[in-house]
C-alpha cells in the first residue's frame, strides 16, 4: 500500500507539472510568471476542460488517496492532533481537485462559478496549513514521521507566504512556489510508514 501512495504522489505531481507547462506553453500570451494557474482552465480558454482534469482533478484525487492511506497508516492510538491533521490534509487534496471542477469565468469574476473556484482555492491552502502544523505537533515523537513533520513547517511557510506575496514577487511565481511546496510535502507524506 505504501508503494501505491508513492506512485500516486509522483503521478499527481507529474500530471500537474505537465499540464501547467504544456497547456501554458500553447496558450498564446500566457506567462508562467504573471498569470495564475487557474487561467489555463478558465471558461472560454482553449483546452480548458483537459487542463482542469489533468492539472487539478487528477492530482487532487491522487493526493486524496495518499491522504487516505496516511490516515490508515496512523495507529489507532495516534495523537488526536495527528488524526485531525490527516483529515485536513484529505480535505486540502479534495479542495485542490474541486478547483478543476469549478472553473473561473474570466469575463465575470463575480459569478457564482468564479466565487466557487476561489472558495475551493482558499479551502485548498486553508485546510493544508493547519493539517501540516497539526501533523508537526501530533507526530513529533514518531521517529519515522519526523521528516514529514518538519517538511510540514517548511511547506506551511511556503504556502502562506505565496498566498500573500510581497510586491517584489510576481503573483504567478508566488502561486507556483506554493504549489511546489504543497506537492513536495505530499511526496514526503507518501513515504511515511
Rounded Cα–Cα distance for residues 177 and 88 (Å): 21
Least confident of 34-48, 79-93, 153-167: 153-167
Rounded Cα–Cα distance for residues 10 and 83 (Å): 24
pLDDT band at 165 (very low <50, low <70, confident <90, very high): low
pLDDT over 70 at 104, yes or no: yes
Cα torsion angle, 147, 153, 159, 161, sign: negative
Joined grid coordinates for residue 81: 492532533
Per-residue pLDDT reduced to its tens digit, 108-120? 888 888 899 999 9
Joined grid coordinates for residue 46: 482553449
Amino acid at each position: 500500500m505504501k508503494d501505491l501512495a508513492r506512485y500516486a504522489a509522483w503521478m499527481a505531481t507529474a500530471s500537474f507539472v505537465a499540464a501547467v507547462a504544456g497547456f501554458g506553453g500553447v496558450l498564446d500570451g500566457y506567462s508562467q510568471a504573471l498569470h495564475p494557474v487557474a487561467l489555463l482552465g478558465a471558461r472560454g480558454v482553449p483546452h480548458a476542460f483537459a487542463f482542469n482534469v489533468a492539472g487539478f482533478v487528477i492530482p487532487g484525487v491522487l493526493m486524496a488517496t495518499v491522504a487516505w492511506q496516511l490516515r490508515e497508516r496512523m495507529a489507532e492510538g495516534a495523537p488526536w492532533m495527528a488524526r485531525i491533521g490527516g483529515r485536513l490534509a484529505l480535505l486540502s487534496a479534495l479542495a485542490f481537485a474541486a478547483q478543476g471542477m469549478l472553473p473561473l469565468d474570466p469575463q465575470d469574476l463575480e459569478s457564482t462559478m468564479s466565487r466557487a473556484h476561489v472558495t475551493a482555492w482558499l479551502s485548498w491552502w486553508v485546510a493544508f496549513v493547519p493539517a501540516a502544523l497539526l501533523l508537526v505537533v501530533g507526530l513529533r515523537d514518531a521517529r519515522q514521521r519526523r521528516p514529514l513533520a518538519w517538511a510540514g513547517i517548511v511547506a506551511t511557510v511556503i504556502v502562506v507566504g505565496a498566498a500573500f506575496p510581497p510586491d517584489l514577487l510576481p503573483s504567478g511565481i508566488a502561486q507556483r512556489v506554493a504549489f511546489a511546496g504543497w506537492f513536495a510535502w505530499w511526496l514526503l507524506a507518501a513515504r511515511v510508514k
